[in-house]
Amino acid sequence: MRLDPQECRSRLRRAGHGVLATTRPDGRPHAVPVCFTLESNLVAVPHDHVKPKSNGRLQRERNVEADGRAALLIERFDLGDWSRLWWVRADLTAVGIDADDDLRSRLEESLRHKYPQYVGEQFDDVLVFVIDEITGWSAVG
CATH-assigned architecture of domain 5-138: Roll (2.30)
121 CB-side CA count, 13 A: 20
Q: What is the pLDDT of residues 16-27, one digit of tens each?
A: 999 999 999 999
The model carries a pTM of 0.91
What residues does each domain of the chain span? 5-138
- As a whole number, mean pLDDT of residues 125-130 equals 93
Distance between CA atoms of 128 and 131, rounded to whole angstroms?
Answer: 10
The one-letter code for the residue type at 118 is: Y
Q: Which of 10, 49, 57, 51 is nearest to 33 (CA)?
A: 51
Q: What is the pLDDT of residues 13-68, one digit of tens each?
A: 999 999 999 999 999 999 999 999 999 999 999 987 655 556 667 889 999 999 99
Q: Which of 128, 123, 115, 118 is nearest to 45 (CA)?
A: 128
